[in-house]
Amino acid sequence: MFQDIEILIKQVKSEENLKAITDKLRIIASNKKNADISKLIDRALAKSRNLNNNIAIINLLELKIKQNFHLDANIEELSINLDEMIELATKIDYVEGLALAYTTKWGIEKSQGNMKISTESLAKAIDNVSKLDSKDYAYYICTYSFAIHEWLVNRDAGVEDRLEECCNYFYYRGFYHGLVMGLGILAIIYLQTQNKEKSMKLTRKILGRSDFLNQIPSEIRSNIHFFIGFSQELSFNLGKAEEHLLEAKRILKPIYKTSIYSSYYLTGLSYLTATYALQGKLELAQRQMKEVDELIEEGIATKNLDNFSKEQMNHIFNLTKFYIQSRLQNFQSRSLQKLVQTILANIHRYYGNAIFFSEFLLNADLTSEQLVEIRNLNNPSTKRVEHILNFLIEKATQTEEKQIVNSISILKRRPVEERMTFVEKAFADLLATQEYYRINRFTEIYPLLKKYENQLHRIEVLELRILMEAFIQVGAFKNGDPLGPALQYMAIKKCKQYGFSGLEKKLANYLMMQGTDIIKTMP
């Protein structure tokens, strides 16, 4: 493609030729930044000056600035280029050019810490965007920049629709760097709201083009794999999540120290740790956790993470640590009070997946006052597990069977039912069955869990699936199936195999209780 453009630049004779060259250079410059591309832009710019084509000069200056923007040594030269853009665009009343110029000025001033000028420049860019007759390159670049600004400054999840619109344009036009950066923010927004539908829709679109992942640069491809892996984990499709996160790791590991995408390497490993933990690969999760800790200490992989993203990743990582520790037989929450307090301090601002969050609420020995305080936050993360919080608050004060049944009914009143995953619904129903067991309402168990009996393969959270298998058999035994205890023993053996010593102890206690029941019924 380089040679083709070089030939076009040499042969250029008209404004139409310059537009075709600019369109091609926009795509190349979006996806790669190196000296060869800078030279191509300079040659095209020289031709534009020779032909006195101000529109081409303005558009190529934008590419020249952005191609060298990451090099601080060029900032003075880039400022001169930017002044020329604004002057020329004002002179010829080129609205698209003014929109692009002020968007570029927003980025330069922001990088220099001049936030007042940066914000004013963005306002001017948006004002010019409102005057555009159609949606094209300038519209999407400026809209994207505004959405990025609103997210970085205000953490406004309301930019979701605009980012999706821009990512759709970038995807089809081949602006893959912008696509990846937009997807990165969308990933965090989807995580906060647990919007698996939108996340998976975007994933299906990407995977729907068989040639897509092969034609983009490897660094960018690694981040597409990261996004797809994250989306799959969001829906608890853990096998697919592991596959894509490992591919992202494979590509970035040799180059993360020099890559502008180094932060995706660290974030991807953090999600991979969570995926391993949910799959029951506890030893592998602990090894991966150690690698993440070492990278955080090293500092290289965190250099491109803003503070919010860094703390968001740490919050997920802390919930993963708690989940792994709470699986062990000798687990005592008081030994993890420092970790518990750190998680509590960040719940209001950051998000973790609904299973990790629920397990934290169930196992951290929180007081009723703390649970009420968490519920009152009323943010997307707490809203998603509101039924768990209400259940625990009610359970803390209940003394009679009627009250216990009321707490169980709370688990069935789920405020975000339509957005909940199959796994989250199974989690809540399984929690209810354990309460039914506690008050000897055995006939309620099997009817509640029967719908999962032939769909256990959909529960990729391993410990949850083992517990579900065991309780389906508890319910079946209480409804007259004599094989129940034997099948529960198989579930206990699985706990031994995977190191779920906490669950092993719980199931052994249930089996012992049933043994007593069996003896009572003997003649």
181 located within any domain: no
Residue 57 lies inside a defined structural domain of this protein: no
**pLDDT at res. 520:** 42
Q: What is the pLDDT along the chain (523 residues), one digit of tens a residue?
A: 566 777 777 777 767 778 888 998 999 888 877 888 888 899 999 989 988 999 999 999 999 998 877 655 577 788 899 999 999 999 999 999 999 999 999 988 887 788 899 999 999 999 999 999 889 999 999 999 999 898 888 878 889 999 999 999 998 898 988 888 888 888 778 877 767 677 777 777 777 777 777 778 888 889 889 988 988 888 899 999 999 999 999 999 998 888 878 888 888 999 999 999 999 998 999 999 999 999 888 888 787 777 888 888 899 999 999 998 888 767 788 889 999 999 999 998 888 888 999 999 999 999 999 999 999 998 888 888 999 999 999 887 766 677 778 888 888 888 777 778 899 999 999 899 888 887 878 788 888 888 998 999 999 998 899 888 888 877 666 666 665 565 666 777 777 777 777 777 777 776 666 555 543 443 3
Number of domains in the chain: 1
440 falls within a domain: no
In a domain, 125, yes or no: no
Task: Give the C-alpha separation, 501 to 499, whole Å.
Answer: 5
pLDDT, residue 518, reads: 42
- Cβ proximity of 497 and 519 under 8 Å: no
User: Are 70 and 37 spatial neighbours (Cβ–Cβ below 8 Å)?
Assistant: no
Residue 90: both structure tokens together: 């004002």
At 342 the pLDDT is: 96
Going by C-beta distance under 8 Å and a sequence separation of 6 or more, which residues neighbour residue 122?
102, 103, 106, 145, 146, 149
Is residue 122 domain-resident? no
Domain contains 142? no
DSSP 13-36: -SHHHHHHHHHHHHHHHHH--SHH
Q: Distance from CA of residue 383 to its chain's centroid?
A: 18
pLDDT at 152: 80
| Range of the structural domain that residue 207 is part of | 196-351
Q: Rounded distance, CA 483 to CA 494, Å?
A: 17
Q: Residue with structure tokens 């999962």?
A: 452
In a domain, 322, yes or no: yes
Q: Which amino acid is at 68?
A: N
**3 state SS of 261:** coil
Residue 151: its pLDDT value, please? 85
**Cα 289 to Cα 250: distance, rounded to the nearest angstrom:** 17
> What CATH number did the domain enclosing 278 receive?
1.25.40
In-domain check, residue 259: yes
Task: Read off the pTM.
Answer: 0.81
